[in-house]
Structure 1
Amino acid sequence: MTKAKVGIIFGGKSAEHEVSLQSAKNIVDAIDKDKYEVVLLGIDKDGKWHLNDQSSYLLNEENPKLIQLNKTNKGVAVVPGESSNQLVNTSGSDTLSQLDVVFPIVHGTLGEDGSLQGMLRIANLPYVGTGVLGSAVSMDKDIAKRLLKEAGISVANSVTFTKNKRNQINYQAVKEKLGLPMFIKPANQGSSVGVSKVRNEEEFYAGIDDAFLYDHKLLVEEMVNGREVECAVLGNEDPQASIPGEILPQTDFYSYESKYIDEKGADLAIPADLSEELTKKVQQASVEVFQTLNCEGLARVDFFLKEDGELVVNEVNTLPGFTRISMYPKLWEISGISYPELINKLIELAIDRHQRDAQLKSAVWED
């Protein structure tokens, strides 16, 4: 049986580079080697692509704080417009073997914001996950909130600021609108990068400055008192929701360290301790959010569950972490889909969408 060639793209220039390395390692370890041949395409922090060998693509791979991409002298470039052999080895003149599908696991900016997805679409390569539009709007917390509110879906109250109007940001005005404590978040980051919990004026302006290090736009958001419930969604035109899970932070809030480095930073209750009625409500709401934001393939939808049973969307992650302590694969494992099977389903969904898109006419008149 001929193995399908799966290109795993990982790393990237975002603040979530190290998370991506961990996710890639777990996918490579778990993927069905009898069914798939893995081609590793690592992106360093400067944005250069490397063709990596499976035996040596990571340095310090067992240490989340020190993990690094092992850079090679085999550069890679993408040639758009080709029907095959879209990848070229820039250290030579040869093209690389044709990929059957790409699994992009580049978290954060330039990875899950539609940029990489657009490049893969132009290169005519099937890829796992949400397309250009869904990736872009889901990544931008401000735009995602606007779309969800338009659809009648509850989101936390917030105000948005851009860096060019930094001098117009007023602590007292924001405090009167949102109360204390509140959260400051870069609009286009994930994994709690650049997020600050604010209790006073000094923390407010420090949080503003920190968030603007990561993005030109930020949100200041009210604190919603509620349980942190998450649900994984899988599918294209007919998405399915997993059993919900609950985050039980052991720190002040569910920070980057809690998610990816400190295994004691949070407890994951899977399944969440919910009634059957609430479980169905979370699952239905997750699918509704998924479809509202034009997601495909996979996404994790995060909610706050208030005491009165109201669900408030926190955020949507279209390329959730695939590390060994990540919620997305754990939710599906408890729901009955093992890690290797989940990878297989995502690849099948990518190919199915690509074949479906290929049936669309691209011109009014054919040559």
Structure 2
Amino acid sequence: MAVADWLAALDRRAALRAKAGLTRRLHPRAAGDDVVDLAGNDYLGLATHPEVVAAAARALSAYGLGATGSRLVRGSTDAHHALEDALAGWLGTDRALVFSSGYLANVGAVRALVRPRTLLVSDAHNHASLIDGCRVSGAETVVTPHADVTAVAAALAAAPGRPAVVVTESVFSVDGDLAPLARLHATAREHGALLLVDDAHALGVTGPAGAGAVAAAGLAGEPDVVLTATLSKALGGAGGVVAGPAEFVRHLVETARTFIYDTALPPAVAAGVHAAVGLARTRDDLRADLSRRAALAVRRLRAAGLDVSTPDAAVVSVTAPGPEAATGWAAACRDRAVAVGCFRPPSTPDSRSRLRLTISAGVSQAEFERALEVIVECAP
């Protein structure tokens, strides 16, 4: 194919996406803008906390801008190892391993859990990183209806004697609902399967001392449970973590391509996240405030006649009439200095488009209530 034909084909595909209301655009933000942020994932407001910024600044001065190599070459620093020890202690696992992103952590974890003949049983609402992990692994994958433990049990029962892994989020990223983790674990254990839980939207927000939904379900440290999370949400930084049995973490270090062949997380980020972990463990007051605000958002938006999810953490989903309506709604809010998430197919696991509100303790109560008014007034 000639270059001109290739570029023309890309233009045609872009036109089709635009016609379907699926165009995506970048919206750069300035430092310190006055937008009320209900789109980012800084749940506890730690991204700009003075202790977090100071810890990152000290490491930046000590180590420089980047890690300068992969973790197995020169990229492992004292900052990385201190963070991993802190995460393992908080999560109640043998060990934790830090990756440069939550996406790479999920892809690496799924792939590392696969053996010959492994069956992966994946929830229909799982995040793209888990879906891609299943695809990259090459293992047979059965996608079960959302949060349907009976369907998971049936999929496992249909593959007796095969190694299997049940793959789920804890708090799902689209609608903010909580997976039935205790029941999923009991079902997986009954069939000799492992349970992989992406705790990204629960870590820091739920559970004892904010240790997440896995800990809240009483599954912390169970030998047949592997936990993943991103460090870019409630901890306000970047990177990802896989936590579980020491034997599995050793296996990751020695075999996970998304760990071995990737430049390490910058030490300054690792140090900042380490400080954030220490703060997050002590802030039950912020977690209680997030819960109150989520309940307030549901009441206000439902009172306005909007279709709103029932949140189990700090994610509130509002159904939009369609993709174009969702993008127009989000743009109208942005014009009034309120940032909201806009989810459309294929980012949603069904045909519905949504606004997604992520509640942050870094937003004042007055700003939060004004943002809710703007969302209602801009509704299509």
TM-score, normalised by the number of residues in structure 1:
0.26
Higher relative contact order (CA 8 A, sep 6+): 2
Which structure carries more helix by proportion? 2
Which structure carries more strand by proportion? 1
